[in-house]
A and B are shown apart, each in its own frame.
Chain A
């Protein structure tokens, strides 16, 4: 089929039924459930080790109350990593390229951290609006700036993830189009473009994992401030 550059970003639809939910739920299905054994197969062992690593990394800087968020953050991280990495395969749809999905993940979680902070320790939460050691004259301006930065956070979280992945996928598509178009005309340049594409693919793999990690890390940081 002939693809335009928008086709990989359109939410999949089959006979009018939106398949976005299926495309979001499918990646976690690829992860095996641990089952009843003590010594599992290699995939389960590696998966368990990976989850332990993530949970430890996220939970070490947090106090006890923050540990209630462990399941949420770990599962979010795993979801994002699998979705991002699976999106690099050809002809796949990556749900995280949709701004709607990323905002739906970022906004409620950020709001939860904010409300937790305001509910349980309002003065400390509001105190984060003013960094330590600012000159007295700058205080009003700085409070305004910090409030803006606080309110921009969910937008930043969502858009960061969306933009990174969309840009990456788009670049892959554009460069592979260039390779395909140049192949009959100038094969040497086409090979050069292929090598660029290879490097880009490696970058995209890294970006997929890093963006998922950054998303969850920033959320955990916002949580640490407020809990």
Chain B
């Protein structure tokens, strides 16, 4: 049976945006009792009100044996000691660990965003640089043109040098040929003259020259002896 007065669809039917989580949890006294309880009793009973209530309740339960002190009490005391010790000692570390996990999660997402932003900024700068490069295009082409002209010029000069060298080689050859011919003629002439001279020396002349030589030697030896 559906009461027609019951309101239907009173929420907003949309999850987003989620309300943010509160930064700190509710204030709690002695780890169990929320502060609101103390604030609730404060106007009527003041500061000690809730404590009196707690003490009274505990004493009532104990004295009327509604709560019986038996072995479970001791066991309860022990396990509570262990729990409270654990919470006090490691509580803040565990909380810091949980916070760190959340921080890492957020940091990873932020890192992705920052990486993307950085990449896009680098892309923008590179694009601007490319645009600047485009402006210098004419200078580039002029330089290239100059290079090509220089290359052509160099090539032309090299070929000119080659031509010059070739021509010089040919002319040097001709000059060398002429010199050789002249040399050969000279040598041949000298040989022919010497041959004829040697042939013309008769035996009579040979004897006369040998006798003259002996006379000269004698004269020389006399002068030499006198020198000694």
Contacts and interface: CB of A to CB of B under 8 A. Distances in A.
B48 interface: no
Contacts of A197: 74-75, 78
Contacts of B99: 42
Contact of A198 (B21, B72, B81, B106): B81
B66 to A, nearest CB: 9
Q: Size class of B's contact patch?
A: 20 to 34
Contact of B15 (A36, A39, A179, A201): A36
Contacts of A202: 82
Interface string B157-177: 000000000000000000000
B82 A176 contact: no
Given A88-B79, A202-B82, A36 B18 contact: yes
Contacts of B72: 3, 90-91, 173, 176
A1 B68 contact: yes
A149 interface: no
B11 to A, nearest CB: 14
Contacts of B102: 39-40, 45
Interface in A194-227: 194, 197-198, 200-202, 205
Nearest to A43: B98
A2, A3, A200, A201 interface centre (most CB from chain B within 10 Å): A201
B96 to A, nearest CB: 10
A172 interface: yes
B78 A46 contact: no
Contacts of B70: 1-3, 180
Contact of A194 (B74, B97, B106): B74
Contacts of B101: 45-46, 49
A2 B68 contact: yes
Contacts of B147: none
Contacts of B73: 90, 176, 180
B95 interface: yes
B75 A194 contact: no
Contact of A201 (B68, B78, B94, B105): B78
20 contacts: A1-B70, A36-B15, A37-B18, A37-B21, A42-B99, A46-B98, A88-B79, A89-B76, A90-B75, A172-B78, A176-B74, A179-B71, A179-B74, A180-B74, A197-B74, A197-B75, A198-B78, A198-B82, A201-B75, A205-B82
